[in-house]
Structure 1
Amino acid sequence: MSLTVYLGIDVGSVTTKLALVDETGKYVDSVMLKTAGKPVMAVQTGLNRLYEKRITEYDVKGVGTTGSGRALAGSLVGADVVKNEITAHAVAASTNIPGVQTILEIGGQDSKIIILRDGIVTDFAMNTVCAAGTGSFLDHQAQRLNVPIEEFGETALRSTNPARIAGRCGVFAESDLIHKQQLGYPVEDLLYGLCQALVRNYLSNLALGKELLPTVSFQGGVATNTGMVKAFEEALNTKIVVPENHQTMGAIGAALLAMENHQYTETPTKFKGWNVAEMHFSSITCACTGCSNNCEVITIVEGVNEVQHVEKIKDVKGNIIARWGGTCGRWDIS
């Protein structure tokens, strides 16, 4: 007996997440792995891991992709729905957290804030420029202070006199942290001071002019850090909800969107099957010379395992399954 499921894939610059929900929207399973600059391999490995964990056969009725690599992932697996991260996180939160009105999301390389009213996104903001407060920045500072990232939050919570760290910029934050370290501040005070600084940065950059009402959900990998959770609770003077599957909420949202799409349209899925994990793909990038924009156009070729060196887009050989990147859409294939 097979289980009807919907697959969601969230391809980020640091991690790739895959999640399954059943036909009622209930969470089934998920996996998370490092993208490591190889999104195609990450998606394929994730598919393998998810399928190997099964306790029954899966009947995939729909697939959704999200994240910075959503177009690529959608082309590889045959997605029915390709949506941005704002939509995916909002759907996952509104489905799983009753009364959620504010979503704080911090990932490996960027951060977002989403305002919901009655389950509808009314406002949002993204920060993809400043690294301060992202997972990668926290990883780097923990490593520099010789604290395992898994112990960052627990160590920060032991602080009794947090150091005042300048958090407006990642460069200044690191410089100030080093200065305070040289003054002899205890590690726990440095770490929690950093948490407070990064929360101030986040709120001043993303939440300015927005009404942050409870219930507040904290999503993304950084929500694992209990020091950041406490700093947000102090700054907002409210309880922060960290969902059980906070790291995979984007993938869960993509799966829920695929479910909604299938149940509304009743169309067969485009999913190419679990054997996508064993197929060969190559990505070829070259410039379009059709106008002065010189757009970089990306072509995904199936069944080719070697790198092609081409100067013209029309010279790409093989079974082309997707192409995008041009401003005018001349070369787009999806």
Structure 2
Amino acid sequence: MSDPCFLGIDVGSISTNLVAIAPGGEVLCELYRRGDGHPIDSVQACLAQLQEEAPGLAVRGVCTTGSGRMLAGAVVGADVVKNEISAHARATLHLHPDVRTIFEIGGQDSKVTVVRDGAVVDFSMNLVCAAGTGSFLDSQARRLNITIEELSAGAMLSQNPTTIAGRCTVFAESDMIHKQQVGHAQPDILMGLCHALVRNYLANVCAGKELKSPIVFQGGVSANQGICRAFRESLGCDIIVPRHHMVMGAYGAALIASRTGVKNTRYRGEKAATHKVVTKGFTCADCPNHCEIIEIRDGEEVIGRTGGRCGKWDGNGGGPRPQVDPVPDLLEMGVPEP
């Protein structure tokens, strides 16, 4: 007999994460996979791995989130497409109902979410610059010819962190070279990089926000011990790194999927993992907006379209559509856990 489950899939700029949960919220399987610029392949690889590792699961609902949520939603047949603020908040409130501030730093973007009495009351995201994100650390690790794991471990050995310019990756690299040339120890330089990222994040993403404990830190960068240390030293308080911290967006999406009440899921089953899915772009000339439309196809079948402003091209050409929520459901965040 198959065990019912709900899937959450988070497609970000760097990684694709998948979480399968039981109806009660227990995590049955979690997967983290680097996307390498191929989101469709990454989503399908996660689904194939899920089928291999947990073949007895019967999917009852699917929610996609992240920057690639619309594309992923078409590929898998999502019942709900949700923004990442809502997904991360849902997972955090499920694990830590008393949370008041959520830090989330990924590969190319970073966010802060302010929670009061179990409801999201404010949030902010980084703008174009990625200096306060994981890509900042990745680029500096490559410059030093070390892995990101070695950067994390090395930073924890620092006794006297040096100051590194963190507002720009280019300036940080120049400053780092100078620190090396004058003789600073590598652990102190690595910890200086961690402090630089945290300073950038607090000064830009968190500007004007009231940061109160308990503070939960999640996203891929939360695995970096140097960054966790830098947050604790900068804020003078404890930082909670939750279970499933690498896949909290997907976990929250799975929790959202479990609450939709969908009776007949749109999930495409095995073909979501095995069929060749391709995209084709075209420009709609029906109005001055000239929207760039992306059409997603499984063979001759149109399974999704994205990119339009007016909604004309939304959906999959006549079939059932997922519930799409382009803005955070701030009021829903206040609904207590059942």
Tell me whether the two structures share a fold, i.e. TM-score over 0.5.
yes
Code of the aligned partner of 1:208:
A
**1:78 maps onto 2:60 in alignment:** no
**1:166 maps onto 2:165 in alignment:** yes
**C-alpha distance in 2 between matches for 1:233 and 1:183:** 28
- CA displacement, residues 48-80 of structure 1 (integer Å, 9 cap, x when unaligned): 1111111x6112111000011100111111111
Aligned length: 316
SS of the residue aligned with 1:241?
Answer: coil
**1:272 maps onto 2:268 in alignment:** yes
**C-alpha distance in 2 between matches for 1:324 and 1:141:** 35
Q: 1:53 — aligned with what?
A: 53
Q: 1:292 — aligned with what?
A: 288
**C-alpha distance in 2 between matches for 1:38 and 1:298:** 15
Task: State the 4+ residue runs in structure 1 displaced beyond 3 angstroms.
Answer: none
**1:157 maps onto 2:156 in alignment:** yes
Q: Matched residues, percent identical?
A: 52
Code of the aligned partner of 1:44:
Q
**C-alpha distance in 2 between matches for 1:118 and 1:28:** 29
Q: 1:329 — aligned with what?
A: 311
Q: 1:200 — aligned with what?
A: 199
**C-alpha distance in 1 between matches for 2:118 and 2:263:** 26
Q: 2:331 — aligned with what?
A: none
Structure 2 gaps, min length 5: 317-338
Q: 1:242 — aligned with what?
A: 241
Q: Note the C-alpha offset of 1:328.
A: 2.1
**C-alpha distance in 1 between matches for 2:292 and 2:150:** 42
Q: Note the C-alpha offset of 1:258.
A: 0.2
Structure 1 gaps, min length 5: 304-317
- CA displacement, residues 176-218 of structure 1 (integer Å, 9 cap, x when unaligned): 1222122221110111011111111100101122111111111
Q: 1:314 — aligned with what?
A: none
SS of the residue aligned with 1:261?
Answer: coil
Alpha carbons 2:16, 2:33 under 8 Å: kept: yes
Q: 1:66 — aligned with what?
A: 65
**C-alpha distance in 2 between matches for 1:145 and 1:38:** 27
Q: 2:105 — aligned with what?
A: 106
Q: Note the C-alpha offset of 1:332.
A: 2.1
Q: Normalising to structure 2: TM-score of the pair?
A: 0.90
- CA displacement, residues 265-299 of structure 1 (integer Å, 9 cap, x when unaligned): x5221111133111111100111222332221100
Q: 2:144 — aligned with what?
A: 145
**C-alpha distance in 2 between matches for 1:330 and 1:274:** 29
Q: Note the C-alpha offset of 1:141.
A: 0.7
Q: Note the C-alpha offset of 1:147.
A: 2.2
**1:283 maps onto 2:279 in alignment:** yes
Code of the aligned partner of 1:18:
L
Q: 1:253 — aligned with what?
A: 252
Q: Are residues 149 and 112 of structure 1, via their aligned partners in 2, closer, same or farther at CA, if it must alter by over 3 Å?
A: same
Alpha carbons 1:130, 1:170 under 8 Å: kept: no
